[in-house]
Amino acid sequence: MENLKLTKWKYAHNEETPRIRILSLDCGVDAKQNTLSKQALEELSKILDANLYHPPTAMVIKSSKSESFCAGMDVDEIREIVNDPSNLKLLLNRAHEILMKVRLATYPIIAVISGECLGGGLELALACHYRIVVDHPKTRLGLPETQLGIIPGFGGTQILPKVVGLQNAIRVIVGGKKLSAKEAKSIGLADMIVSPENSFSKLDLGDAILNHFLSVKRKLPWMDRLPFGKHFVCSMARKATMKATKGVYPAPMLALEAVCASSQPLEKGLNKERDLFIKAANTSEAKNLINLFSVRKEARTETPLEAKVYPLDYVGVIGAGVMGSTIAYAALTARKQVYLHDTYVPSIHKAVRFIEDELRREVKKGKMSKEKAEETRDRLTIGYGDIFHDRIGRCDVVIEAIVEDMAEKHKLFTKLEEFTRPGAILVTNTSSLLPSEIASVLKHPENFCAMHFFNPAHKMDLVEIAGTSRTDPETIAKVLNLTRAMGKTPVVLNKECVGLLVNRVMTQYLMQSIYYVSTIPNRPNLWMLDKAFEACGMVMGPFKTLDLIGFDTGAHVMKVMSEAYPKRLPNLSDFKIAEDKSTLGTKTGKGFYLWKNGKPIKPNYEFARWLDIFPYRKKTMDEANCVREIVLSKMKEEAMKMYDEGLASMDMIDLSLILGGGMMPNRRGVIGRVES
């Protein structure tokens, strides 16, 4: 063993039981996550070969990082192999061969999993004979390859169903479900869970524990033991997957095909998985999704400004409505001290209830300990009425999320400058007002910028950041760091504009769609147009989106945007969308659709007739597809205009549109990939 030159693994003996070998994956201190590179696999192969003639009593495979067992293959390596199909078959065969050595070892190999164990990392753990999972809040086990347009390729689709049953495997592989330690134990993926305090260093891996593993018996659900049962599970899953992907994403269906082939002998099943992997990797969706992943990584890590580390530890949030409460929650979970203020007492009560409910939910799901939830809640201070609490003076940054009204925002910012400490950063979350106009009342506009969160802010990944011509670059650098600390993807605009990136293209999407279903002679009906957009990869059709935004808010934003871009948007001044106060979208349970439990149940024909946009002649999807293409061309034109204005690079514009507006990740956004 001493002769092996290992760069990705550390190899040791257990001090008390030297015949137990301990192998730790270690990608170095600079890497936040461990990844399973080709190099790591080849080194593993050599280690297993070296143990062939002097087998140990047992081998433990673990990680040197408590928060990352292994996050799977490095995405740059995935991109490289996907772009080189000639090598793909060889690489997959080689990976199968190496993991087969793990499976066929004559001694037990035990994976000890703490932190993220995803993709190839979980496939490595699945090749081991047993799995001990550490109940760490960061522990997640999953096979999320379909999110990159590919499928698990190192045996995951074949082994997981044999360990946890078909239905559970489909949930993890096709549904992309990531499991906590407890969830992994409940479906039999973990053979044992241990607490972080009792984690590996103190684990007794002597005879008792080995005997425990040797007695583990895997019992699959009865459905899996009957050919009819398996057939039934697969056919139901096919229907559900087709419905969920709307036929836009091939990978989940290909992954399902591989999982459903797992009752064959292993070698045949692995060949099937390999062929389906190659098929998935050759799709344009895979190339686009992998490229998108790299662009997002760039936005999350690259520093466009000379930013030193500027922690903004005390965050003020003014306005405790939909946005303020979710921004406050996101800041609290990023370990910030938070001061949340609203003039209206019921808003504050509602926000506190929301924050406490969310924390309780996290504890229930096993994602947060009870103590951590209490400590998080304790970092929240509230204030209400016209007078700020003293805490406002401690804030390093204050984020404004009050009503979208220039006069109200002016009053608030004037007051904020008076009560905050010198140098504190003041931020607006406006959707449609020009940041420099908001800042016109400030004595220190250098400390001001826009930070545009999306609804709900604790879940949505994107934050658009824009300074005015008077913003100090250090202000942007600090806000950029805050965004990253909150676990979000920042996109920094080179300059400001009304609506920033997403809302400019979103307004085109909504207003052009309304215009075409209400004016042209041969127009499709609006529900068909929604379907046409969803079939090309928009997460939600324009009319469903309007229902969710709410017609009052939507009408206001459309009006403001039309005033800012009168030549670029259609005139919809006759469109009386927000006049009927009982029909405002999901908030009233009816809009273009009738809604129940957050889901659209059926079209609301009555409302469309009232709006006079119901075409009585039966329409075909051709008309809807035709209108969709016209609207898409308007959206692309707007995106290119923003690029020409120098607001951001094409990559960052598309990234924003995908993360903030759900605009066609399969096509890599509205502009799409420029290189082939």
Residue whose CB is less far from ligand NAD, 257 or 342? 342
Residue whose CB is less far from ligand NAD, 373 or 416? 416
Q: Taking CB under 6 A as the rule, does residue 358 contact ligand NAD?
A: no
> In the 8-state DSSP scheme, what is residue 164?
H
Q: Taking CB under 6 A as the rule, does residue 147 contact ligand NAD?
A: no
**Given 43, 123, 464, 638, the catalytic residue:** 123
**Given 116, 145, 273, 358, the catalytic residue:** 145
Is 623 an annotated catalytic residue?
no
Site for ligand NAD in 269-328 (CB under 6 A): 318-324
Q: How many CB atoms lie within 10 A of CB 211?
A: 9
Residue whose CB is less far from ligand NAD, 62 or 341? 341
Q: Taking CB under 6 A as the rule, does residue 461 contact ligand NAD?
A: no
Q: How many angstroms separate the CA atoms of 127 and 99, rounded?
A: 6
Q: What are the backbone dihedrals phi and psi of residue 649, each rounded to the nearest 5 degrees, phi first?
A: -75, 165
Shortest Å, Cβ 67 to ligand NAD: 32
Would you call 673 exposed, middle or buried from its count of C-beta atoms within 10 A (0-12, 13-18, 19+)? Answer: middle
Q: How many angstroms separate the CA atoms of 546 and 542, rounded?
A: 6
Select from 515, 499, 428, 483 the least CA-distant residue to 642: 499
Residue whose CB is less far from ligand NAD, 101 or 556? 556
Q: Taking CB under 6 A as the rule, does residue 134 contact ligand NAD?
A: no
Shortest Å, Cβ 522 to ligand NAD: 34
Shortest Å, Cβ 455 to ligand NAD: 3
Longest pairwise C-alpha distance within the chain: 84
Take residue 450 and report the two structure tokens written for it: 């826009």
> In the 8-state DSSP scheme, what is residue 224?
H
Would you call 300 exposed, middle or buried from its count of C-beta atoms within 10 A (0-12, 13-18, 19+)? Answer: middle
Is 15 an annotated catalytic residue?
no
Helices marked H in 246-306: 250-260, 266-281, 284-301
**From 289, 299, 412, 648, residue interacting with ligand NAD (rule: CB under 6 A):** 412
Q: Taking CB under 6 A as the rule, does residue 145 contact ligand NAD?
A: no
**Window contacting ligand NAD (CB under 6 A); options: 11-19, 82-90, 343-351, 599-607:** 343-351
Identify whether the C-beta of residue 331 lies closer than 8 Å to the C-beta of residue 338: yes
Residue whose CB is less far from ligand NAD, 148 or 401? 401
Q: Taking CB under 6 A as the rule, does residue 165 contact ligand NAD?
A: no
Residue whose CB is less far from ligand NAD, 245 or 343? 343
**From 455, 562, 588, 625, residue interacting with ligand NAD (rule: CB under 6 A):** 455
Q: Taking CB under 6 A as the rule, does residue 345 contact ligand NAD?
A: no
Shortest Å, Cβ 91 to ligand NAD: 44
**Window contacting ligand NAD (CB under 6 A); options: 89-97, 215-223, 398-406, 533-541:** 398-406
Shortest Å, Cβ 347 to ligand NAD: 3
Q: How many angstroms separate the CA atoms of 120 and 135, rounded?
A: 21
Shortest Å, Cβ 503 to ligand NAD: 8
DSSP E strands, 190-259: 192-194
Q: How many angstroms separate the CA atoms of 265 and 517, rounded?
A: 54
Could you tell me the CA-to-CA distances from 330 to 32, 220, 352, 459, 526 in Å, in that order? 22, 40, 13, 8, 36
Residues that bind ligand NAD in the complex, under the rule CB under 6 A: 318-324, 341-344, 347, 401-404, 408, 412, 429-431, 453-455
Catalytic residues: 123, 145
